[in-house]
Structure formats: structure tokens, C-alpha cells
Amino acid sequence: MRKVAVTGLGVITPVGNSSQQMWNALLEGRSGISKVTRIDVTQYDCKIAGEVKGFTPDTWIIKKEQKKMDLFIQYGIAAAKMALQDSGFQITDNNRTKVGIIIGAGMGGLPGIEAQYDILKAKGPTRVSPFFIPMVIPNLTSGFLAIDVGAQGPNLCVTSACSTGAHSIGEGMRYIRDGICDAMIVGGSESTICQMALSGFASMRALSTRNDEPEKASRPFDTGRDGFVMGEGAGVLILEEMESAKKRGAKIYAELAGYGLTCDAYHITNPSEGGAGAARCMDVALNDAKVNLNEIDYINAHGTSTPAGDIAETMAIKSVFKDHAKKLSVSSTKSMTGHLLGAAGGVEAVISVLSLHTGKIPPTINLDNQDPQCDLDFVPHIARDKKLRSVLSNSFGFGGTNATLLFKRHL
């Protein structure tokens, strides 16, 4: 089986618009959650989110193209071009048909749909933008990017709610393993901080309403958690076939060695009892990588800060790892970034790779009163140094969809 190397990283996040900016913020325990500024939230129960700050699309996308793209596409292209730049990988006439792209979105261009619907109602059908459809379709991050960089291999979009980014990365790994591609640009992007998304999630009672303390609102595994905080951004990795990456002298951050995917087949929003589906997903990833339980040193948890979800994930980890579960370091970086929905798996894969590469584990902030039912080592408040051999990154989504990625240290 062909091995898969991670050679490039790119992110746009609420805590920084490069992997280094984000990483510094996470290790310092800085939150990117604040009051929503993009829309008037006076009438909303939830008034907070993890907005991206200081994003400059001109750095990555020429001006005339930007009006054709909703913000999730702009974030995805920026993160992807950043990752390509980081990797040093060159797309040429000799390799372009073997370079594929899978950058997914959980919800796509919801803000663009809102804006164009307002124009339709106010000014009539002839005033709707001719770019409206490509502006909002989830697969157009991959599509626009392919045109820009000339990648002519498989080009598609995974949409699997909050598992989107992780599924995109795992499927990209399979394309390299199977010899379909030699390199893949993979990850997730999302930007849905808008009226419809805030209203919809709030109506489900899924969002935190700790509006007076935004930076303390996302508190995974804490007794005071009251829902997740929506975030936005993008996380993209460059994957290459290991031997060809070595041959060109690439910097190899890690090996992507395992991928698990399962379905709870239980409920559209709640996890299965005891986290059974999540446990099977981690088992599948471990078996895929042929890695023993005691070789896993860190798990970047899905850890959304919801009452049911955090308990289910804790139970799943204990079910899989048994006695070794107590030796694991587990943290939820959503405590700082918020929940980036379809981009979460991409950004958290980047975080997992950086943890493995640097031997540093970002903390779970706001863990002031740990839930007794969440009784693992969640690295509270302060980052930790630890030599890591292998790490897992978990992503679970509405519809009962689950994804786990397993990264191994490259020796």
C-alpha cells in the first residue's frame, strides 16, 4: 500500500489567518470568540461567534474573481494556496492530471443565498447576480481552485455536516493509496455566520447563549457548557505519495496513516448511546493504520461543548482505549476557535499534524469545573509538551456521520 505524506498546511481561522498565527494563539490559550459584528444580532438569542478577522482576499484571489465567490470559497482558496506555498509542491504539465482536489463545505453559500434572495424580493428576478449559482454551490471551492492552479485530477466536494473536512482528507488519502492521484489538495471551508444559520441553530437550542462572556462561552467537557459557538474559516492539507515527496526533498510534517468512517444510524442530531458510532469509527481508523491502542498519545476531540456530545465522545474514547484512555491527552481546540462546521475537520487536522510535528498539545480552555462524566485528561487551560507518536482527530456530524483521521510521526 502506498503511504501518504502531509507536506503542506493552510488555514483561515478565528484565531489567525496562517498556520503559525493560529498555532501561537492556541498554545497561548487565546479565544477567537466575540460578539457578532457582521449582522445585527439584537433580536437573536445567540449574539456571539468565532468570526475571521483581518482576512484580505486580495493576497490570494484577483479582484475581479472575488465577486463570483461567497466567503466560504474565498477562505478555502486562500487556505489551499497557502498550503501549496508551504509544501513547495509544483503543479506542472507533467503531473497535473494526477493532482486532485477535495475541499468540502458543510452548508455552502448560505449568506450568498440570503443576500440574493433579498435582491430578488426587493428588485425583481433580473437583478439577481449572474454569478449567484457558482457563488454558493459547495463544490465551487474545488472548482475555482482547480482553474486557478491547473489541477486536472479528480475534483469534487464532500458534504457531511461537521465531518466534512475530515471526510475530505480521508477520501483524498484513498485516492493516493489507490494510485489514482499522486497528490491531493484536501480539507474543508465554511462561512455561515448569517441570519438563517444563527436562527436555525438557535431554534434547535444548539448554540451557547453566554453572550456576556464570549471568550468563555465555548467550554467543552465543563459542567457549565450550554451549546456550541459557531465559527468560520478553512483548513487545507497537501497530501502526497510518500516516496515521491521524499524524492523531491519535501518537508514532511506527518504520515496520514488511518481513516475511519461510520454512521450511528440513530438520530439526526444526537449521538448514539454510549458514543457507539464514534467508538467504531476510531476502531476503523486504528485498524486501517495497523496501529496499536497504546501508540496513540493525543486525541484532538470533536468536543463541541454540547451537553450530550461531550459525554458521548468521552464514553467512546473509554470504550475503545480501555485502560490506555487514562494515559491519553485529549483536548478540544473548539474551546478557542468555536465550531467551524464543515471546516472544523480540516482545521483540526492541521492542528493535529502540528501537535505531532512540534510535540506540543494545545489546551482545552474554560475547563473550570470538569463534568464528572467526562473523566479524561482534557489538558485544561495550559498547553503541554509531550513526545507524540500517533494522534487521532475526531469529527462527528448531524445525521450520525463520523470521521476519524490517524496521523503518525514521520521518522
Structure confidence at residue 305 (pLDDT) = 98
Number of CB atoms found within 10 A of residue 121's CB: 8
* 359 dihedral zone (left: phi>0; alpha: psi -120 to 50; beta): left
**182-204 mean pLDDT:** 97
Asked if 102 and 237 count as a contact pair (C-beta separation under 8 A), the reply is no
Between the CA of residue 275 and those of 145, 162, 332, what are the distances in Å?
37, 16, 17
For 90-102, what is each residue's pLDDT tens digit? Answer: 999 999 999 999 9
Q: Compute CA 80 distance to the chain's CA centroid, rounded to the nearest angstrom.
A: 13
Residues counted in the chain = 411
Q: In this model, does residue 176 exceed pLDDT 90?
A: yes
DSSP code for 127 = G
Bridge-based pairing of strands 99-104 and 155-156 is parallel
DSSP code for 37 = -
Bridge-based pairing of strands 4-12 and 254-263 is antiparallel
For 296-351, what is each residue's pLDDT tens digit? Answer: 999 999 999 999 999 999 999 999 999 999 999 999 999 999 999 999 999 999 99
Catalytically annotated residue among 46, 162, 181, 374: 162
What is the rounded average pLDDT for all residues in the chain?
A: 97
Structure confidence at residue 155 (pLDDT) = 98
What does the DSSP assignment read for 233-281?
EEEEEEEEEHHHHHHTT----EEEEEEEEEE--S-SSSPPGGGHHHHHH
* Alpha-carbon span 220 to 201, nearest angstrom: 18
Question: Which band of pLDDT confidence, cut at 50, 70 and 90, is reported for residue 1?
Answer: confident
Buried b (16+ CB within 10 A) or exposed e, 243-270: ebbeeeebebbbbbbbbbbbbbeeeeee
Instruction: State the cell numbers at 198.
Output: 444563527
Between the CA of residue 278 and those of 207, 291, 294, 398, what are the distances in Å?
22, 18, 18, 13
**54-69 mean pLDDT:** 96
Q: In this model, does residue 28 exceed pLDDT 90?
A: yes
162 in catalytic set: yes
302 in catalytic set: yes
Could you identify the residue written with the cell 461567497? 70
* Alpha-carbon span 304 to 171, nearest angstrom: 24
Bridge-based pairing of strands 296-300 and 390-397 is parallel
Catalytically annotated residue among 157, 167, 181, 339: 339
Reduce the DSSP state of residue 403 to 3 states and report it.
Answer: strand
Structure confidence at residue 367 (pLDDT) = 98
Asked if 193 and 107 count as a contact pair (C-beta separation under 8 A), the reply is no
Bridge-based pairing of strands 99-104 and 183-190 is parallel
Beta partners for 385?
360
Please provide the distance, in angstroms rounded to a whole number, between the alpha carbons at the two ends of the chain.
18
Q: In this model, does residue 411 exceed pLDDT 90?
A: no
**132-147 mean pLDDT:** 97
Q: Compute CA 27 distance to the chain's CA centroid, rounded to the nearest angstrom.
A: 18
Give the dihedral sign, CA 366/370/371/375.
positive
410 in catalytic set: no
**224-250 mean pLDDT:** 98
For 105-114, what is each residue's pLDDT tens digit? Answer: 999 999 999 9
Catalytically annotated residue among 302, 357, 374, 410: 302
* Alpha-carbon span 82 to 91, nearest angstrom: 14
| 190 membership: H or E segment, kind and range | strand 183-190
Instruction: State the cell numbers at 328.
Output: 491519553
pLDDT > 90 fraction of the chain, expressed in percent and rounded: 100
Instruction: State the cell numbers at 249.
Output: 526533498
